[in-house]
Amino acid sequence: MDKIEHIGIAVKDLEASNALFAKLLGTPHYKIEDVASEGVKTSFFQSGPNKIELLEATKPDSPIAKYLEKKGEGIHHIAFAVGDIVAEIERLKGEGFIVLNEVPKKGADNKLVAFLHPKGTNGVLVELCQEIKEG
Ligand code: ZN
């Protein structure tokens, strides 16, 4: 894995949290994106070289809604940038990690993503993401 790509934070009210994180980081979010397939609306902040993703549920049965119900707001996942997500999924499966979606799916921010089950990673939901190359 190349680096931490972003940290995902589950929030109940994206608009309120956008205002809060703008105050915290001293800079407003630079984009908002709906990922309909995941039932989630996300916003992104840049903090120096790092990114923060806020996630709000848009459907009551979305994974984020379930997470908020169970655990409340807070750090939801850590995302790592990878060069070849398919190879990385194979490698991690070989190491015994539980991959939640073995076929990478389109996530927010023009990325192919896959998640590792937190059961196998000390309770941390890990996201792998690979930039989708244009053309
Ligand atoms: Zn993410």
Residue 130 · residue 104 · CB < 8 Å:
yes
| CA–CA gap between residue 63 and residue 110 (Å, rounded) | 20
- Distance of CA 113 from the midpoint of ligand 1 (Å): 8
- Distance of CA 80 from the midpoint of ligand 1 (Å): 9
| CA–CA gap between residue 127 and residue 5 (Å, rounded) | 9
24-38: pLDDT as tens digits: 999 999 999 998 888
**Residues in Cβ contact with 83 at an 8 Å cutoff, skipping those fewer than 6 apart:** 2, 130
- Distance of CA 96 from the midpoint of ligand 1 (Å): 22
Q: What is the pLDDT of residue 75?
A: 97
Q: Supply 75's token pair.
A: 């750090």
Which long-range contacts (C-beta less than 8 Å, at least 24 apart) are formed by 44-51? Answer: 44/6, 44/108, 44/109, 45/21, 50/4, 50/6, 50/7, 51/5, 51/6, 51/7
- Distance of CA 53 from the midpoint of ligand 1 (Å): 6
Q: What is the pLDDT of residue 135?
A: 57
- Distance of CA 6 from the midpoint of ligand 1 (Å): 6
Q: What is the pLDDT of residue 59?
A: 95
- Average pLDDT estimate for 36-65: 94
66-123: pLDDT as tens digits: 999 999 999 999 999 999 999 999 999 999 999 999 999 988 888 999 999 999 999 9
- Distance of CA 64 from the midpoint of ligand 1 (Å): 11
- Distance of CA 42 from the midpoint of ligand 1 (Å): 9
